[in-house]
Chains A and B, each alone.
Chain A
Amino acid sequence: MTDFPRPPPRYSATFTPAVNAEIRRAAATGIYDIRGGGTKRHLPHFDDLLFLGASISRYPLEGYREKCATDVWLGTRFAKKPIHLEIPITIAGMSFGALSGPAKEALGRGASAAGTSTTTGDGGMTEEERGHSKTLVYQYLPSRYGMNPDDLRRADAIEIVVGQGAKPGGGGMLLGQKISDRVANMRNLPKGIDQRSACRHPDWTGPDDLEIKIMELREITDWEKPIYVKIGGARPYYDTALAVKAGADVVVLDGMQGGTAATQDVFIEHVGMPILACIPQAVKALQDLGMHRKVQLIVSGGIRSGADVAKAMALGADAVAIGTAALIALGDNDPKWEEEYQKLGTTADAYDDWHEGRDPAGITTQDPELSARFDPVLGGRRLKNYLKVMTLEAQTIARACGKNHLHNLEPEDLCSLTIEAAAMAGVPLAGTNWIPGRNGGF
């Protein structure tokens, strides 16, 4: 053999080891990969935006002394009883079924202690979450599992789910491992089946029907409850405009970073748009209709910190929602369970097989032994702490920008680090006044 320096093995950028592993998995099983969570690909995100802060042209507020309010009213358009939250960070819909009863209880405890709302999910309302949630949003989904007028009336708001960021155009999925007796009973399904929810509502199609459906729900609840319409980040300008036209009090917009309990990986990774690209379009729709701040906008999908909250609100959102981050605050994917994650063939912070119901942290499971590991009181306290920290962080940034309310943050407080983010978010590339696609240039 000739003795010469050999180059190191070179991996293909197209056929990476991860791609090849998926090809092998598909070839071995004949079924697409199903998992929980949101997209894992790199996307333009809030990290690509920075706040400018105040200087001479703008005055900051004293960081520890001057007030910076955080409250938000939701549902002021038509509802007799709009919701008032102390902080603009809400808990997104996650079903009992996807989550254990104690996990739902913890979400209610934490959110209530922090002064915000929780949301049910595709499985009906449980006593755990109604009892522990001061403000509870009841989702109205295509499946209508557990739907009944009594729960509608004891909810504080109703969220008509049209789409979800992780899977715009797709329905819910809950595999047999998690269809326990209680879950099966609540959903009126046989125990142990692989439940795949419809993607369309069974009794309305299109925006004109939606307007009538919203009117019916208002009639049933005597026009008391705010009615949200949740859309996945697909065509946010038109979907927001149509939701407003249909009579929504609040539009909930979920980008593709938003999580799901279970769906196909190909759906999670290849359908929808990042939330950064969605918010400006939704805000523009509201502004074009003269409804910005009259119909409130809640955005979600990859919100992790007070900086993300502040950036979303600076782009025009009235509030945000968190799902994945809330689960992590509760204890999901905690390295303390690493040994068990390894047994499941994964590792902490990467575990996403929530559909299998074997969550070592006892959160995304219906297994009684695993669920018993999770302390809802402690979990609630952790979530409250996290929500408080996010709020303090957002206030810190807002004060630095001279704002005495988080709602006063504005796009002019932001710059972008990348051309992509500048184009999507509609804020100038740092050090320039260039917004690609808007003010000349390209």
Chain B
Amino acid sequence: MEIYDLAADGLRGLNASLHALKGTTNQTAWQVKNPKGAHAIAAGIDAPIDVTVLGSTGYYCAGMNKQATVRIKGSAGPGVAENMMSGTVIIDGDASQYAGATGRGGLLVIKGNASSRCGISMKGIEIVVHGNIGHMSAFMAQSGSLVVLGDAGEALGDSLYEARLFVRGSVKSLGADCIEKEMRPEHIALLADLLKRGEADHLARPEEFRRYGSARKLYTFNIDNAAAY
């Protein structure tokens, strides 16, 4: 176990050390002490390692992550796991705005609540939120899955493309071109897998969720749809 004291040794040293890990390194387990809300902790990793941050993080923790598993033993600031490519990010607490923004792959698990714009412009990432999510979540979401065990705020899935949204609780309102869709057996199977990997299968059953997706009415510009915005 590599233990890194962020307060003592600084962010640059941490990220430089993590970036230096390539391929099959033996330094597979890291602990980051004293994060104290610092930004860009463990951003840009590209190695199959396990990093545990002992506390809360600032903006963009695990940004653009590839391969690594990053665990946050606290809450995460804005843009956690933004543009993640692969790997896993698990947050014990809450996540601020833009969690998983533009993520292209990997799994983001938020055991608390997520603020507004969770999964904005997501491009393939899978996000499992144990609690609630804020307004404008999955705005312009292109692909991937967003699973919410709690409630969703206003304008869920506004201008949605092909991302799949599953909400167990209430949805305050749907955004432009986002509609409720039928839950078919393949969606139940997908949800079961996501709940398991999102450490939530003991909290909810797939049958309790509703599915939302794009009505695809705004895919091509039509003046008759102008009032949708």
CB distance B44 to A149 under 8 Å? Answer: yes
Query: Which residues in chain B, 109-141, are within 8 Å of chain A measured between CB atoms?
Result: 117, 120-121, 123-124, 139-140
Partner of B223, one of A30, A209, A223: A30
A147 at interface, CB cutoff 8 A: yes
Contact flag A203-B161 (CB < 8 Å), given A193-B219, A215-B39, A216-B59: no
**Which residues of the other chain, A, contact B71 by a CB distance below 8 angstroms?**
none
B60 at interface, CB cutoff 8 A: yes
Q: Give chain A nearest CB distance to B114 CB in angstroms.
A: 13
Please give me the residue from chain B that is nearest to A149 by CB atom: B64
**Which residues of the other chain, A, contact B16 by a CB distance below 8 angstroms?**
222
Q: Give chain B nearest CB distance to A280 CB in angstroms.
A: 35
Please, how many angstroms separate the alpha-carbon atoms of A193 and B223 in the complex?
Answer: 15
Please give me the residue from chain A that is nearest to B42 by CB atom: A219
Please, how many angstroms separate the alpha-carbon atoms of A441 and B197 in the complex?
Answer: 73
Please give me the residue from chain A that is nearest to B100 by CB atom: A203
Q: Give chain B nearest CB distance to A36 CB in angstroms.
A: 16
CB distance B221 to A31 under 8 Å? Answer: yes
Q: Give chain A nearest CB distance to B100 CB in angstroms.
A: 10
Query: Which residues in chain B, 16-32, are within 8 Å of chain A measured between CB atoms?
Result: 16, 19
Please, how many angstroms separate the alpha-carbon atoms of A257 and B60 in the complex?
Answer: 36
B75 at interface, CB cutoff 8 A: no
Please give me the residue from chain B that is nearest to A193 by CB atom: B219
CB distance A216 to B43 under 8 Å? Answer: yes
Stretch at the interface among B76-84, B147-155, B201-209: B76-84
CB distance B60 to A213 under 8 Å? Answer: yes
Q: Give chain A nearest CB distance to B158 CB in angstroms.
A: 11
Partner of A144, one of B39, B58, B83, B219: B83
Contact flag A219-B223 (CB < 8 Å), given A188-B104, A212-B59: no
Q: Please, what's the 1-or-0 string for A130-156, where 1 marks a CB less than 8 Å from any CB in chain B?
A: 000000000000011001110010000
A–B Cβ pairs within 8 angstroms, 19 of them: A29-B223, A31-B221, A143-B121, A148-B85, A188-B123, A188-B142, A194-B219, A202-B121, A202-B140, A203-B79, A203-B120, A212-B40, A212-B58, A213-B59, A216-B60, A216-B79, A219-B15, A220-B40, A220-B44
Q: Give chain B nearest CB distance to A308 CB in angstroms.
A: 35
Give chain B's interface residue range (CB within 8 Å of chain A): 35 or more
B contact residues vs A (CB 8 Å cutoff): 11-12, 15-16, 19, 39-40, 43-44, 46, 58-60, 63-64, 66, 78-79, 82-83, 85, 97-98, 101-102, 104, 117, 120-121, 123-124, 139-140, 142-143, 161-162, 219-221, 223
CB distance B98 to A203 under 8 Å? Answer: yes
CB distance B124 to A188 under 8 Å? Answer: yes
**Which residues of the other chain, B, contact A215 by a CB distance below 8 angstroms?**
39-40
CB distance B140 to A198 under 8 Å? Answer: yes
**Which residues of the other chain, A, contact B140 by a CB distance below 8 angstroms?**
198, 202
A contact residues vs B (CB 8 Å cutoff): 29-31, 143-144, 147-149, 152, 175-176, 188-190, 192-194, 196, 198, 202-204, 209, 212-213, 215-216, 219-223
How many A-B residue contacts, CB cutoff 8 Å?
A: 99
Please give me the residue from chain A that is nearest to B44 by CB atom: A220
Q: Give chain B nearest CB distance to A186 CB in angstroms.
A: 11
Q: Which of A29, A147, A175, A192 has the most CB of B within 10 A?
A: A147
Please, how many angstroms separate the alpha-carbon atoms of A219 and B15 in the complex?
Answer: 7
Please give me the residue from chain B that is nearest to A142 by CB atom: B121
Partner of B101, one of A31, A196, A202: A202
CB distance A202 to B44 under 8 Å? Answer: no
CB distance A149 to B220 under 8 Å? Answer: no
- Beyond A202-B117, A216-B43, A216-B63, 15 additional pairs, beta carbon < 8 A: A143-B121, A144-B123, A148-B64, A149-B46, A175-B221, A188-B104, A188-B124, A193-B219, A196-B221, A203-B82, A203-B98, A203-B120, A215-B40, A220-B63, A222-B19
